[in-house]
Structure 1
Amino acid sequence: MANDGRARATIIGLSAVLMWATLGLFGAGSGQVPPFLLNAICFGISGVLALVLVTVTGKLERLKQPPKVWVFGTLGLFGFHFFYFTAIRNAPPVDANLINYTWPLLIVVFSAFLPGENLRVHHVIGTVLGLLGAALLITGGDGISFSGGSAIGYGAAVLSSLFWSTYSVVSRRLGQVPTEAVAGFCILTSLLSALCHVLWEQTIWPQGALEWGAVIALALFPVGLAFFTWDIGVKRGDIQVLGAAAYSAPLLSTLLLIAFGFGALTLPVIIACLAISLGAVIAAKDMLFGKSAPGAAAE
C-alpha cells in the first residue's frame, strides 16, 4: 500500500512537469508583458484562487505555519524566478537557460542526502541523459559559447538552479507542512514580484482577449496548479524519478511550440526527444518494472 501511495504521488508530481511544458506556448501568447509583472499577475491569481478553495473546503487552519516555513516557501518560488529573470537579462538566454536546467540533475544528486533515499546508478544515468538531451534541445546542436562580461547572468543562472533544486529537496524534509500552504507562498511571491516590477520594469498590460487568456492559462496551470502537484510529488513520491523526468518539460514545450507553428521539427529535436525519453525510462526503472529481485546483480 505504501508503494502504491508513493507511485500515486509521483504521478501527481509528474503532472507538474506536463503543465510546465506549456510555459513556452502560453508565455508566447501573453504578448509583451514584462516578466515580473507577469509573475505578479499569475501568482496573484493562482494564490487567491487557492486561498478561496482552501477556505471553502474548511482547511484554512492549515495555513497557520511557523515564520520559517513562510520564508522558506517564498524564497523558493520567488528566489528561483528572480534569479532566472536576472540570468536571461544579463547573459545570452541560451547559455543561461542551459545552466538553469541543471536543477533536475541537482535534485537527483541532493536527494541522496534525504533519509530513506538511495541514489542508484540508473538514477544518475537517466538524469545525465536528460541533461544531454536538454542541452541539445536548448542549443539546437550549435553548441554554446560562454561570453565574457556575462558573469552576473551566469552567476544568477547558477543561483536559480540551486534555489529550485534546494527548495524541491528540502520540501521533502518538511513533509509535515500541508500542500495548502503553497497558496500563501504564491501570494507572497506575487507581492514581491509586483515590487520588483515597480522598481525595474515598464508597465505593459496584456492586450486583448487572446493575451489575457494566455495569462489566465499560465496562472491556472504552469504558474499555479503545477506548484501544488509538484509539492505533493517531492514530499511523498519518488523524487529521483521526478528530477529525471523534469527534463521532459523543455522537450514537450518545444514540441508544443512546433505544433502551434512557432518552430520546426529538426534532427536535434528528434535526438533530444529520444535521449530525454530514454533517460526518463531508465531513471524510473524501479517504478515501472519493479526493483531487482534479491540476489540480482548489484548496480
Structure 2
Amino acid sequence: MSKSDLSKGATLLGLVAILFWSTSVGVTRSTIEFLGRTGAPAVLFTVSALLLLPTRTSLRELPRRYLWLGAALFVGYELCFVLALGFARTRHEAIEVGMVNYLWPSLTVLCSAIADRKRLNALMLAGLGLAFIGVITASSPAEGLSLSRFFHNAASNPLSYGLAFIGAIVWALYSTCTKHMAQGKNALWFFMALSAVGFWIVHAFNAERATMNWSTHVVIQVALASAAVTLAYLLWNIGVLRGNIHVLGLAANGTPLMSALFASVLLSAPLPIIFWAGAALVAVGSLIAGVGLRSARASA
C-alpha cells in the first residue's frame, strides 16, 4: 500500500473518530443518570483504559514533559467536562453546557497563535467572538438572542457552566502543548488510566454519591459508551499522526452541530431552532478562527 493510500486511510479513521466524539455528550449524560455523576465516569474510563491496554507504550519511551504535563491537562479536562455534564440539572441544560465546552477549537487557535508568537488578526478575533455569540444564542429563548438569559442560566448553575468553560480552556492548552512535546509518541492509555483513578478518588470522597443502578441495559450502555470514547481518542490519534490534518481540522469544526444532533436523539431532548443557530455559529466561528491562524502562519 502506498504512502498516499495510508494517509487517506488514516484521514478516514480520523473522520470516523469525529463521529464517535460527537456522541460523547449524549452517552456520558445518559450513563450518569444510571450510575451517578462520579460513578459513571469512573466506570467508563476504567473500561476504556482496559480496552486500550493492547496499545500501551512503555512510559520510559515517552518524553517526560509530555508525560506529566499532558497527563495533568488530559485528566483535568476530563474531570471538568464530565462533571459539568453531571452537575447539569436537566438533559437540555447538559446539551447547553456541552456547547460551552465546544469553545475549545476557537480557544485552541488563540493558544496556538500565542505559542507560535503570531499576532492575533481580525479573522481569529472575529471567529472567537462569533463562537462566544453562538454559545449565548444556544441558551437564548425562542424569541431571539438574549444575553441576560445566558448569564441567568450560568448564575443559576455556576459549577456546571464554569467547569465546562474551564474544560474548554484546558483542552485548548492540551491540544497546543502536546503537539509540540509528544514527538510522535502516544500516552493515551496512561492518560485514560489516570483519568479513571482520578474519578474513583472523586467518587470515594463524594458525600452525595448516588447508588449505581446496574441492569443488563446499563451494562450494555456502559460497554457501548466506553467503546465510543475509546475509539474516538484512538482513531483521532491515528488520524492526526498519519492523516491529512487540514481535512480533519476542517471536519472537526462541524462537531458542535453533530454533538447537538446526537445528544438530542440519545437524550430524547428536542432542541429549538435558535439552539441550532447557536451551534452553527460556534462551528462557523471555529472555522473562521482556524482560517485566520493559517493565514497568519502563511504570511510569516
Is the structural similarity TM-score above 0.5?
yes
1:50 and 1:77 map into 2 onto residues whose CA distance is: 16
Classify 1:268/1:29 alpha carbon distance in 2 versus 1 (closer, same or farther; 3 Å).
same
Residue 170 of structure 2 corresponds to residue 173 of structure 1: no
The one-letter code of the counterpart of 2:113 is A
2:184 and 2:15 map into 1 onto residues whose CA distance is: 20
The question of whether the paired residues in 1 share the 8 Å contact of 2:29 and 2:85 is answered with no
For residue 51 of structure 1, what is the aligned residue in structure 2? 53
Classify 1:260/1:81 alpha carbon distance in 2 versus 1 (closer, same or farther; 3 Å).
closer
Q: Which among 191, 198, 217 is matched to residue 192 of structure 1?
A: 198
1:121 and 1:106 map into 2 onto residues whose CA distance is: 15
1:47 and 1:76 map into 2 onto residues whose CA distance is: 17
For residue 82 of structure 1, what is the aligned residue in structure 2? 79
For residue 171 of structure 2, what is the aligned residue in structure 1? 164
Once the two structures are superposed, the pairs formed by residues 118-157 of structure 1 within 5 Å of their partners are 122=123, 125-126=126-127, 128-139=129-140, 143-146=149-152, 156-157=163-164
1:118 and 1:239 map into 2 onto residues whose CA distance is: 21
Task: Indicate the RMSD between aligned Cα atoms, in angstroms.
Answer: 4.4
Classify 1:28/1:35 alpha carbon distance in 2 versus 1 (closer, same or farther; 3 Å).
closer
The one-letter code of the counterpart of 1:83 is C
Residue 227 of structure 2 corresponds to residue 220 of structure 1: yes
Residue 272 of structure 2 corresponds to residue 271 of structure 1: no
Instruction: Please state whether the residue corresponding to 2:270 is helix, strand or coil.
Output: coil
Count of residues in Structure 1 that have an aligned counterpart in Structure 2 = 282
1:115 and 1:67 map into 2 onto residues whose CA distance is: 22
Instruction: Please state whether the residue corresponding to 2:51 is helix, strand or coil.
Output: helix
The question of whether the paired residues in 1 share the 8 Å contact of 2:26 and 2:264 is answered with no
Deviations 1:122-157 (A, max 9, x none): 565555544443443344555312465866666544
Q: CA deviation at 1:34?
A: 1.6
Percent identical: 22
For residue 23 of structure 1, what is the aligned residue in structure 2? 24
Q: CA deviation at 1:3?
A: 10
Instruction: Please state whether the residue corresponding to 1:202 is helix, strand or coil.
Output: coil
1:137 and 1:144 map into 2 onto residues whose CA distance is: 9
1:270 and 1:152 map into 2 onto residues whose CA distance is: 24
The question of whether the paired residues in 2 share the 8 Å contact of 1:62 and 1:178 is answered with no
Q: CA deviation at 1:261?
A: 7.2
Deviations 1:159-218 (A, max 9, x none): 322211111111110241422x21111111111211111111525335322222221122
The question of whether the paired residues in 2 share the 8 Å contact of 1:171 and 1:234 is answered with no
For residue 42 of structure 1, what is the aligned residue in structure 2? 44
2:245 and 2:223 map into 1 onto residues whose CA distance is: 30
Instruction: Please state whether the residue corresponding to 1:35 is helix, strand or coil.
Output: coil
Deviations 1:34-58 (A, max 9, x none): 2322222222112122112x26xxx
Classify 1:139/1:32 alpha carbon distance in 2 versus 1 (closer, same or farther; 3 Å).
farther
Classify 1:170/1:38 alpha carbon distance in 2 versus 1 (closer, same or farther; 3 Å).
same
2:101 and 2:87 map into 1 onto residues whose CA distance is: 13
Classify 1:262/1:273 alpha carbon distance in 2 versus 1 (closer, same or farther; 3 Å).
same
Classify 1:67/1:198 alpha carbon distance in 2 versus 1 (closer, same or farther; 3 Å).
farther
Q: CA deviation at 1:104?
A: 1.9
TM-score, structure 1 as length reference: 0.71
Deviates more, 1:72-81 or 1:95-104: 95-104
2:238 and 2:61 map into 1 onto residues whose CA distance is: 18
1:112 and 1:164 map into 2 onto residues whose CA distance is: 15
Q: Mind listing any 5+ residue stretches in structure 1 that lack a counterpart?
A: none
The question of whether the paired residues in 1 share the 8 Å contact of 2:12 and 2:239 is answered with yes
The question of whether the paired residues in 1 share the 8 Å contact of 2:99 and 2:256 is answered with no
The one-letter code of the counterpart of 1:268 is I
